[in-house]
A and B are shown apart, each in its own frame.
Chain A
Amino acid sequence: MSVEDLITVPILTRVEGEGGVTIRLREGVIDKIELNIYEPPRLFEALLRGRPLEDTPDITARICGICPVAYQMSSVQALEAALGIQVTPNIRRLRRLLYCGEWIESHALHIHLLHAPDFFGVASGILLAQRFPDEIKRGLQLKKSGNRLLEVLGGRAIHPVNVRVGGFHRLPQREEMAALIPQFEQGVEAAVAATRWVAGFPFPDFEQDYELVSLSHPAEYPMNEGEIVSSRGLRIPVSEYHQNFVEFQVAHSTAHQAVRHRLGTPYFLGPLARVSLNRERLSPTARRLADEIDLPGLLKNPFMSIVARGLELVHAFEEGLSILREYDPTGKAAIHYQPHEGYGCGATEAPRGLLFHEYRIDGQGKIVSGNIVPPTSQNQRRIELDLMEFLTIRQKIGASRQDLALDCERLVRTYDPCISCSTHFLKVRWDESL
């Protein structure tokens, strides 16, 4: 009779929702790995039904505490598609600026306090700060610039409220935006230094043949718009999302997983994919830096996501700076519209990957149905397969059970998923069962 043995990570703490990991061993060999996530996106979708479409950006923004802008951007994209609204170039640029603020906040935090400690074998950002105080201070300063931008353009730092279907509720005054320029000038330099720092980290020797997926736009680094492309040749409009990707349920998780439609294969979203697929559209400084650090053309090592995040940090500061310098507050804050029946979908690039929204609205402008596919659920299956591959390699070279549990946490964190991006104190429980 074969003996089943479990390594259980019961709860990933301090996260939105709850998650855990179970490693099943049979005859001492890793047999199966399950990632459990408990998130409430369906609750939000149900909450939207029957409500005025104007409520959608602010309600969906509350799905995630760190990337509310992503939810606002994807929801307004989808609703504007349903209503046939074309925003002005100025509004479009300001939306990119707002997204820059969110990427800065999210990436600066993840790089310095959540991910970097893993490369030095320390359990938290506090311990890392003892060894690298200047680097951690620099990271916090970078994050602060993102916060400040959200405050000015988004209306407040807690949860931006200035986004509306058709544009913004109000445009900031020129002086408010100009006041951000000096910190963004410094931010470009600081982000370059931070990226050089992380590029020198010791990365585990682990590469996989991923299908990397992101938006791609002919003229700009992907944030708000573009086609969906992949490293295996996929190129489709966002409207064909369901013909190419499919969500499904698994018994061990309340969150959906996603794979390529018909192929049944997992795919990889996030900075690693975006940089690999859009490197030539990074800002000039970020592009030069990628060359300087000899970044491979196609990134296959998930641990190098921290470098991709660094490059996007540089990009966000540089593009943000450019928009701030050219800011013109004299245009329309929003496009007016008459609600009518319709359907629309949209996808934008949240800090951790492609975020798809779709809505159907009735003739009175009320939401009939909504569907939200967050990046973490799309990455979930890919994470499980990575865990399987990586931990099997580690086990073969003699990693202890304790090391395997730590490896598990480190690998999950490279994805910056909602379930573990703040987790550095993983409680591991060992179960033996016959």
Chain B
Amino acid sequence: MSSSFIVGLGSHHGDDQAGWLVMDRLQQRNFPPQQMTRLRHPIDLLDVIDTEMSLVICDACYGSGNPGRIHQGVWSAENSPDQILGPRRDESGLSLIPQVHSGSHTLPLIEVLMLGRQLGCGPSFAKIWTIEGGMWAPGTSPSTAIQAAAAVVAEAIWEQTFHA
């Protein structure tokens, strides 16, 4: 078993709960609680990451497909700031993960990862799962497409963590 640390980013606003839903699913499967956390703001990653960590981040995204579409990619400190390279789940070849949805009053995810690296407190590499959202109204429930996608992502993380 690898010692991945899983972070679910999200808010209470509709499909922005995608990252938290993945955490819910992992929790239901008794994923070790000390290896996972939910966060509201990407900046709060700096409170939980370290240089040696095998970091996996789950978040909502928008602008590159229908709600529920899953993207998987890798952030590396060596990439250009705006790029996360990785195969889309339903396509072959390399493509860019769309902009990760960021909450209010904070820095976006990639900027936080870069800052962590810059300050010598974050990993040089992170796996990133994003789920395409379509509805962000305050206080609303996530769509069924997002819930289904979150279950798929949780299953994939479980498999990669315990059976890779």
Contact = CB atoms under 8 A, between A and B. Distances in A.
A306 to B, nearest CB: 16
A137 B47 CA distance: 11
Interface string B113-133: 011001111000000000000
A66 B115 contact: no
A133 interface: yes
A133 B119 contact: yes
Given A63-B138, A125-B111, A133 B105 contact: no
Interface stretch (B35-43, B85-93, B145-153, B154-162): B35-43
A137 B138 CA distance: 33
Contacts of A43: 137-138
A65 B103 contact: yes
B32 interface: no
Interface string A367-404: 00000000000000000000000000000000000000
Contacts of A15: 104-105
Given A40-B138, A140-B46, A14 B114 contact: no
Given A14-B108, A109-B105, A65 B119 contact: no
A113 to B, nearest CB: 6
Contacts of B11: 62, 65
Nearest to B114: A126
A234 to B, nearest CB: 29
Interface residues of A, number: 35
B47 A144 contact: yes
Interface in B40-61: 40-41, 43-44, 46-47
A62 B14 CA distance: 12
B69 interface: no
B106 A65 contact: yes
B47 A147 contact: yes
A179 interface: no
B118 A126 contact: yes
B61 to A, nearest CB: 14
Contacts of B105: 15-16, 64-66, 106, 109, 418, 421-422
A15 B44 CA distance: 16
Nearest to B121: A137
A375 B107 CA distance: 22
Contacts of B25: none
Contact of B44 (A16, A44, A62, A157): A157
Nearest to B106: A422
Contacts of B38: 158
A47 B118 contact: no
A137 B119 CA distance: 7
Contact of B119 (A17, A140, A418, A422): A140
Interface in A50-64: 59, 62-64
Which of the listed residues A15, A63, A422 has the most CB atoms from chain B within 10 Å of its own CB?
A: A422
A427 to B, nearest CB: 13
Given A144-B47, A158-B40, A129 B106 contact: no
Contacts of B76: none
A418 B104 contact: yes
Interface string A1-44: 00000000000001111000000000000000000000010011
Contacts of B39: 157-158
A217 interface: no
Contacts of B111: 124-126
Contacts of B121: 137
A125 B40 contact: no
Contacts of A405: none
Interface string B60-99: 0000000000000000000000000000000000000000
Given A65-B41, A129-B119, A422 B47 contact: no
Contact of A66 (B13, B104, B120, B138): B104
Contacts of B138: 40, 43-44, 47, 62-63
A62 B104 contact: no
Interface of B: 11-13, 38-41, 43-44, 46-47, 102-108, 111, 114-115, 118-121, 137-139
Given A44-B138, A124-B107, 6 more contacts: A40-B138, A62-B139, A65-B103, A65-B104, A113-B115, A137-B121
6 contacts: A17-B104, A66-B104, A126-B111, A133-B120, A136-B115, A158-B38
